[in-house]
Structure 1
């Protein structure tokens, strides 16, 4: 399997935005993941080719950052910060609530393929704790109830709007 020509073009465009093309690797991996649903071996190879790196160098970056998934995930990735402050402020309770509601464990996907639930390490958003991320967008000051409603909305196909940041 190879990436589409359009994806290669987008990878080249991303690399061209940076004085040192290698600096574009993180957004390039995001692109691959958004197109392929995960960071595939083909995506790693494509990034390596565009940047003049080895696949091992690209793979090292892709495996270092937890946001890059090497296995299929659900339509929606729901991450609950369970680092110290978020945990104390309710992150652990939120994770337990969603784990029970969705009947999955950490880094597992619901049977219908809709939601992957994951413990997330610090999102550097402690002033908005506890934080839940949906597809890497922030949902601040969550409670078990609001996080449960958020998951219900996702499963029902209702639009959810992040607390901050671009849509």
Structure 2
């Protein structure tokens, strides 16, 4: 077996592990969103960034290896390469597993996006309710976070 092919298989195995980690993190993110545990979200986000960076690097390695083998550096190139190896190869099973886990991660990510939008809509609705009885509340703070009400307007008065 060609060493590039072995490396391609190893790369796919690493991609499967990384994508499984991402899918797991997305499930943790979903649980935190459902339970309203904001503090857990920051931990998940840091780990997601790390795993996504790893996945991106592994995808680049796979693409270079496919090009070295004379195939396009994309999904179609991988499918074409797999047609040349036995149908029940470990690499073929690894690729199928990667696609399945990626699909699961995409669905989790889509669901999390819906949950995040619901939380944002709820928060915006709550703010509108709080501000509706106070006409100045909507303009209390500017983009910098400082108050925008002019406290020096008016002459004031002196007590005698």
* Interval of TM-score (by shorter of Structure 1 and Structure 2): under 0.3
Greater strand share, structure number: 1
TM-score by length of 1: 0.24
Greater helix share, structure number: 2
Larger RCO (alpha carbons 8 Å, 6+ apart) = 2
TM-score by length of 2: 0.25
